[in-house]
Structure 1
């Protein structure tokens, strides 16, 4: 159980770090901070902050002017929008609602000539804050949920272990991890939020350099995910014929990384097999192209799947170069 406690502590600390890293100013926009900032701005108390803003304008007049124009356009769009349009604008521009935005909104309110117009700005500010808080809370819940899913996948290799190590002493632990990944993928739990969380935890583990076992586990999670997704679609049959190079690639995709070298030696012509290095290279490139077409550009899913395929390609090239001298 000590190992689970260690992992949970790592997740707890670094999930907070990840939320800050991923969302930037988003996580500084809790309702208390927003309400305090806005109330001070509307009441005219926050003069020091306004003086700072004036100094910034003097220091970079052109940049500050463009920023103000952009903020005014945003505020005008929010004012003119109906409730549905307003929610959409806030969600699409969530990172724009920083301290400078609220100061500009307060300044616009201060210049109003009627109490009715001032009231409109106050109501707009309250509505926007409510929507922002809702987005923040949903994002936080999603990240916490993704962390719980990751803990569940890692449980077979850390439960009952005093110290995190890799590979696990029980060879069945990895098989149990694989079953967890397959089941949770079927249930739709391994979405972009999950992949983002695993990727962030992996980066942090590598940076810390004192958790090689944890980094290896997280890397294995991503490999199992990639193998599960890529194995869903087969290109090994063309009519009634089996495309040997495609079938060989699919065997590699499903196999653990530590078995790749043996599979290459048994399957490629540089060893005992019938598949030439050019043939395996061609089908890997084709599979990468198909993956790029079928996944969302820039998504974690696309990156992880492509990296997995490139890992197979790189291993093949290394082995071929080594054996060919």
Structure 2
């Protein structure tokens, strides 16, 4: 005897769909309530900061700059309409006005920083080109790296420029511009070499050599002078700790210098195996 397959009744299916819609509406309502509560919490924080000083307000505003979207401005306007006293209205309106000015100034400064970083980075990259033909000989040779190093000394390599460099690398990679990727990576190496070279230990002779093609020669020279793997590894570890502890965690400066030291470490292991 074959068992019959049963199918949900039409009424049962409708009930489940109704329950699902009700649950979805409840979730949406809870989410909206949660979002409004979060906005109100930030607005209250801004009002408290405003009560302390404009500097404190600016700090809180910039720290939460990504929260200032259309919903935020609408909620502030709604709060103005719904408070009970003119004093409360004036306070929120004043905060709203000051936050607008702070954000506008911050975004303008960010745009100026990006423009300045792009201009300086362009000068550094151009320095690596043949100064007669203005064409690039890739991979870059020692003389091109020296010109790049000299130009870096005339610029301010900060987080903005390093951020711009990584953005250019991504774009060049997407556009299959391998030569430009190489040049930009060499800039990062030259920058890291200059930052890490303290001119106080044998290790600095290697760290300060931004042309990685010359590293085997430098390794051999250091070994010939009695600088062995134990001393090398100890000093390299100390430099790594300085980068980790001395630079802002997660910064581009920390990332570039740490990657440079990591490459030194990997190449040194390969070299000392052959000694």
Q: Same fold (TM over 0.5)?
A: yes
With the length of structure 2 as denominator, give the TM-score of the two structures.
0.78
Distance in 2 of aligned mates of 1:89 and 1:276: 52
- Which of 1 and 2 has higher RCO (CA within 8 Å, sep 6+)? 1
1:88 lines up with 2:54 in the alignment: no
Judged with a 3 Å threshold, the aligned counterparts in structure 2 of structure 1 residues 57 and 107 are, in CA distance, closer, same or farther, namely farther
Residue 259 of structure 1 is matched in structure 2 by 214
Secondary structure of the structure 2 residue equivalent to 1:173 = helix
CA shift at 1:175, angstroms?
1.7
Structure 1: gaps (5+ residues): 1-55, 237-246
Larger Rg: 2
User: C-alpha deviations, 1:92-150, integer Å up to 9, x for none?
Assistant: 21111122212322332342456775555444322221111111001110111111110
Partner in structure 2 of residue 227 of structure 1: 193
- Give matches, 1:193-272, under 5 Å: 193-206=160-173, 208=174, 210-231=176-197, 233-236=198-201, 247=202, 249-255=203-209, 256-268=211-223
After superposition, residues 89-128 of structure 1 pair within 5 angstroms as: 89-113=60-84, 117-118=88-89, 120-128=91-99
Q: List aligned pairs for 1:300-319, cutoff 5 A.
A: 300-319=252-271
Q: Is the 8 A contact 2:126 2:134 kept in 1?
A: no
| In structure 1, C-alpha distance between the alignment counterparts of 2:271 and 2:30, rounded to whole Å | 57
Say whether the 8 Å CA contact 1:227–1:253 is kept in structure 2: yes
Q: 1:153 to 1:162 in 2, by over 3 A?
A: closer
Cα contact 1:165–1:213 (8 A) shared by 2: no
The corresponding residue for 1:290 is: 242
- Which residue of 1 is the match for residue 139 of structure 2? 167
Secondary structure at the aligned position of 1:309 is classed as helix
The one-character-per-residue Cα deviations of 1:23-74 (angstroms, maximum 9, x if unpaired) are xxxxxxxxxxxxxxxxxxxxxxxxxxxxxxxxx9843444443332221121
Q: 1:226, 1:304 within 8 Å by CA — same for their partners in 2?
A: yes
CA–CA separation in structure 2 for the residues paired with 1:285 and 1:171: 28
CA distance in 2, matches of 1:299, 1:61: 39
| Structure 1 runs (4+) greater than 6 angstroms displaced | none
Stretch deviating more after TM superposition (78-87 or 173-182): 78-87
In structure 2, what is the Cα distance between the partners aligned to 1:193 and 1:152? 15
Change (3 A) 1:310 1:194: same
Q: CA deviation at 1:229?
A: 1.2
SS in 2 for 1:297: coil
List runs of 5+ in structure 2 lacking aligned partners.
1-23
